[in-house]
């Protein structure tokens, strides 16, 4: 009898320990690591089909998470997309539709609208939402959303390493950085390494507390500056490539590179990958991956199209058309990988998604209340990450009413299902494509489907009106070509 009583006491004690452990595990903080790469093209990763660049660690992240095949940046240039990520709003709704401070020529037919040069402090950013719930928030890298008074520390981040008003590293990728928000490292220190070092230090310090880490690499933005450690690897690899001379094709008044052959650029991509690997290794060694969401993406398409005949763009995103600066697929379709506990490993998601979705997605993952008045243009991706149905969204939309050095002359685009309409403002024309049959956007179906074009144009105008989109105006000083 006594032995039975002792057994029952032992069993109850064991069950109580298990219950306590489960409770502790349930209360384990859910963290978010958001990795944003600058100008990384849709085809710049091994897991997206690159045969010249090497990205084994990012491919490893894709194998452990979900790879999106129809992910889009909210704009074909950086600052508007960065604003969209942090606010959950389309760039036209925020009022930032060009890179800051933009390209505003006075000798062209159209004058671009005067958009904002900083993210308004009235916006409740993703970082502020997390901070309100006790999260430690850390920013490292490129900001490009305003000058003094509008830096990351004014927008919800407890720490800011390297984020200031410039859109590229003022001192290049090796110390001295000439960055007012980042102290110089030892001679020869590499910027991508340094930003990762700082991020790892933050993770180790906050490993037992909830955190939002926003790692916004400057790479692979210009200047294209070879990583000294890895460039030889790709110079040798380039020797085995077939003819690398005739690799450009016309795009309107510009030129697009058609193949990936730049060894300097490849070394920068490889250095990025090695640092993503170090970050993942840190999360794994600290047993944080089981309660951390990792998002990896880019702010716009790869730099593959330029109007300057004396310059050759550094990367190719073929089969997509054009690149950064354009509302063709090459300028807006980007890599996106999301890893989170409970999601299928190694899956692919074809559902079209966009930058505004990250804000509500991260909130729902962390168990925090949605803020629909703020992230008005985003949808949580958790349902599709968990294998549920498609998202309830009618359209995706882009508004870039400015000139750009890629040869773009202002316009907008809308995608509804597989149909995509692009409007070109200076040329006063539209093009219509069926992306399910023509990912390369080579066959304009406008003449064959005028009703579909009118339908999409009506939807485009409705979104533009709802988001308070601003448009270019005729330049009274323009004398013609």
Q: Pairing relation of β-strands 248-251 and 254-257?
A: antiparallel
Report which of 214, 191, 193, 218 is spatially closest to residue 203, judged by C-alpha positions.
Answer: 214
The answer to whether residue 22 sits within a structural domain is no
Residues 139 and 212: their CA atoms lie apart, in Å, by 9
- Residue 89 is assigned to a structural domain of this protein: yes
Which pLDDT score, from 0 to 100, does residue 243 have?
A: 77
- Residue 97: give the domain boundaries: 28-101+109-394
Question: Residue 467: inside a domain, yes or no?
Answer: no
Residue with tokens 């790892």: 200
Burial (CB < 10 A; 0-12, 13-18, 19+), residue 293, is buried
Task: Report if residue 122 sits inside a domain.
Answer: yes
Following DSSP, what letter does each residue of 179-210 receive, concatenated?
BTTB---STT-BHHHHHHHHHHHHHHHTTTS-
Residue 21 lies in a domain: no
Task: Read off the CATH number of the domain in which 316 is found.
Answer: 3.40.720.10
List, for residues 41-52, the tens digit of each pLDDT value. 999 999 999 999
CA neighbor of 135 nearest in space, from 126, 148, 124, 143 = 126
**Is 43 in contact with 316 (CB distance < 8 Å)?**
yes
Return the structure tokens found at 447.
């003449």
3-state secondary structure of 250: strand
Pinpoint the alpha helices (H) of 212-323.
231-239, 263-285
Per DSSP, the residues of 51-103 read SSS--HHHHHHHHHSEEESSEE-SSSSHHHHHHHHHHSS-HHHHT--SSSS--
Q: Is residue 191 packed enough to be buried (19+ CB in 10 Å), middle (13-18) or exposed (0-12)? A: buried
pLDDT score for 237: 96
474 domain residue, yes or no: no
| Count of the separate structural domains present in the chain | 1
Q: Choose among 162, 291, 157: nearest CA to 216.
A: 162
* Cβ pair 25, 291 in contact under 8 A: no
- Residue ranges for the chain with pLDDT beneath 70: 1-27, 481
CA–CA separation, 139 and 211 (whole Å): 11
477 lies in a domain?
Answer: no
Q: Determine, yes or no, domain membership for 472.
A: no
Backbone angles phi, psi at 463, to 5 degrees: -65, -40
Q: What pLDDT is attached to residue 27?
A: 65
Q: What is the pLDDT of residues 416-425, one digit of tens each?
A: 999 999 999 9
CA distance 79 to 38: 10
């Amino acid at each position: 009898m006594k032995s039975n009583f002792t057994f029952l006491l032992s069993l109850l004690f064991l069950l109580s320990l298990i219950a306590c452990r489960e409770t502790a595990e349930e209360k384990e903080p859910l963290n978010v690591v958001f990795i944003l790469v600058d100008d990384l093209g849709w085809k710049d990763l091994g897991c997206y089909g690159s045969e010249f660049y090497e990205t084994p660690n990012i491919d490893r992240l894709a194998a452990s998470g979900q790879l999106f095949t129809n992910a889009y940046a909210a704009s074909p240039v950086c600052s508007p997309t960065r604003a969209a990520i942090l606010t959950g709003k389309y760039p036209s709704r925020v009022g930032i539709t060009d890179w800051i401070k933009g390209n505003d020529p006075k000798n062209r037919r159209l004058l671009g609208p005067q958009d904002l040069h900083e993210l308004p402090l009235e916006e409740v950013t993703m970082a502020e939402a997390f901070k309100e719930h006790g999260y430690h928030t850390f920013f490292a890298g490129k900001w490009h959303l305003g000058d003094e008074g509008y830096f990351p520390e004014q927008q919800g981040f407890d720490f800011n390493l390297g984020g200031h008003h410039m859109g590229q590293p003022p001192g290049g990728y090796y110390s001295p950085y000439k960055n007012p928000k980042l102290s110089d490292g030892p001679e020869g220190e590499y910027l991508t390494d340094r930003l990762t070092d700082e991020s790892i230090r933050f993770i180790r310090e906050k490993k037992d507390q909830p955190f939002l880490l926003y790692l916004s690499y400057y790479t692979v933005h210009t200047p294209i500056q070879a990583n000294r450690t890895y460039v030889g690897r790709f110079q040798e690899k380039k020797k085995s490539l077939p003819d690398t001379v005739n690799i450009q094709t016309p795009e309107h008044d510009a030129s697009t590179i058609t193949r990936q052959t730049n060894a300097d650029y490849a070394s920068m991509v490889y250095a990025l990958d090695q640092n993503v690997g170090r970050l993942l290794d840190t999360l794994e060694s600290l047993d944080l991956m089981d309660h951390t969401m990792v998002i990896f993406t880019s702010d716009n398409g790869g730099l593959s199209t330029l109007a300057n005949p004396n310059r050759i763009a550094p990367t190719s995103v073929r089969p997509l058309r054009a690149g950064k600066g354009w509302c063709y697929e090459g300028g807006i379709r980007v890599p996106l990988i999301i890893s989170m506990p409970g999601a299928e490993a190694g899956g692919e998601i074809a559902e079209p998604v966009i930058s505004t979705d990250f804000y509500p997605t991260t909130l729902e993952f962390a168990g925090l209340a949605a803020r629909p008045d703020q992230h008005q243009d985003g949808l949580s991706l958790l349902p599709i990450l968990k294998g549920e149905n498609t998202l309830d969204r009618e359209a995706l939309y882009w508004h870039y009413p400015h000139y750009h050095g890629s040869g773009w002359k202002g316009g907008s685009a809308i995608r509804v299902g597989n149909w995509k309409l692009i409007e070109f403002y200076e040329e006063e024309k539209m093009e219509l494509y069926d992306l399910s049959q023509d990912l390369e956007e080579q066959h304009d179906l406008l003449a064959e489907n005028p009703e579909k074009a009118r339908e999409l144009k009506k939807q485009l105008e409705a979104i533009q009106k709802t988001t308070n989109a601003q448009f270019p105006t005729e330049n009274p000083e323009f004398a013609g070509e």
